[in-house]
Amino acid sequence: MAAVLTERFYTALDYAARLHAAQTRKGSGVPYVSHLLAVAGLVLDHGGDEDEAIAALLHDAVEDQGGAATAAEIRRRFGDRVADIVEGCSDTDVTPKPPWRARKEAYLAHLRAASPSVLLVSAADKLHNARSMLHEYRNTGEEVWARFNGGREGTLWYFREVIAALRAAGDNAIVGDLEGIVNELESLVRRAAPAE
């Protein structure tokens, strides 16, 4: 059954757009809200309900726009279930953020025991990120990696580990799509690598 979207969803969309109004996607200048809309769309396309779609709109709010105070505001405005999903999709709520690799390893460990709702939103987030990265790699080549804390090796490692964690927690169509995009990205990287 398709999700029914009420005024809560549109309130969350407005809130998310305002929270991220000054933020753009790394290196592209594209308004960040485009990512939030894409993730919410993927969640809805894959059977998510309104709470999951709202959490998709807000999935980066805690780590990028205010930490624990934003988490508390999300809980107040949208309820415990939405807030729990958002917190489950966040790898930190402190500023400055802890070191990249440690954050990602902790998030991967958490993902293996996460709720189905967290898994759905996280998978949709990673799928949109991978699609965007593939697009950018096609347009800019190796320079794309400079935008990411993990660089080429770390970023590809993280995608592979996310896929493994999502598969271990339970398979879904998004994971297959994510793996296909990551395979394509890795194939392009191998073809672009100089022969040794």
d(CA 174, CA 179): 9
Catalytic option among 49, 52, 60, 63: 63
Find the DSSP H helices in the chain: 7-19, 33-45, 50-58, 61-64, 67-78, 80-88, 100-111, 116-140, 151-169, 173-192
DSSP state of 156: H
Task: Give phi and psi for 154, each to the nearest 5.
Answer: -65, -40
Is 63 among the residues known to form the active site?
yes
Output b/e per residue, 88-98; b: 16+ Cβ within 10 A.
Answer: bbbbbeeeeee
Is 177 among the residues known to form the active site?
no
* DSSP output for 121-143: HHHHHHHHHHHHHHHHHHHHGGG
Distances (CA, A) of 113 to 23, 116, 138: 31, 9, 35
Would you name the residues annotated as active-site residues? 63-64
